[in-house]
Amino acid sequence: MSDPFVAVDPDLDAAPFQQIVDQLRSFIERGDLRAGDALPTVRQLAGDLGVAPNTVARAYGELQEQGWLAGDGRRGTRVAAHSPASDKRTRGRALREAVDRFVATMTHRGYSQDEIASALQRFVKHEGSQYRKQVVR
């Protein structure tokens, strides 16, 4: 896993293990990590990120339970051969969960449901198209 870059931001509301889960799942969904790709060992990734090994182990464990990763004994942890990324229902559930976390975070910060909805609509209509243009380049 030399190309995808995992980072933990202590200033985010999301727990470090959740940040790792979200990033690895995104890498798999986008195809940055493919079936069979090896991930760093728990100790290696924990050292790289400056977090406790249990944090990485928890993230790997959650991703294994969800079907994104497979423990391969002595060969380490790998991207599962058949990840949920190809399942439309699973992708929909992942999207709903991400939106739910985002809305909960923004509500906790004092934004109203109307403010959040309005900002999302503007983003999708305008800024989202700018983002897509930058990514396609």
Same domain for 74 and 20, yes or no, is: yes
What does the chain come to in residues? 137
> For residue 71, what is the enclosing H or E element?
strand 69-71
Q: Which amino acid does the sequence have at 95?
A: L
pLDDT of amino acid 126: 81
What is the domain range of residue 99?
87-136
Same domain for 67 and 101, yes or no, is: no
How many distinct structural domains can be found in the chain? 2
Distance CA 121, CA 114 (A): 10
User: Is position 33 within any domain?
Assistant: yes
Same domain for 24 and 69, yes or no, is: yes
pLDDT band at residue 98 using 50, 70 and 90 as cut-offs: confident
C-alpha closest to that of 82 among 34, 41, 22, 40: 34
The pLDDT of residue 130 is above 60: no
User: Is position 28 within any domain?
Assistant: yes
Show the tokens assigned to 55: 């944090």
Could you read off the pLDDT of 55-72 as tens digits, one per residue?
999 999 999 999 999 997
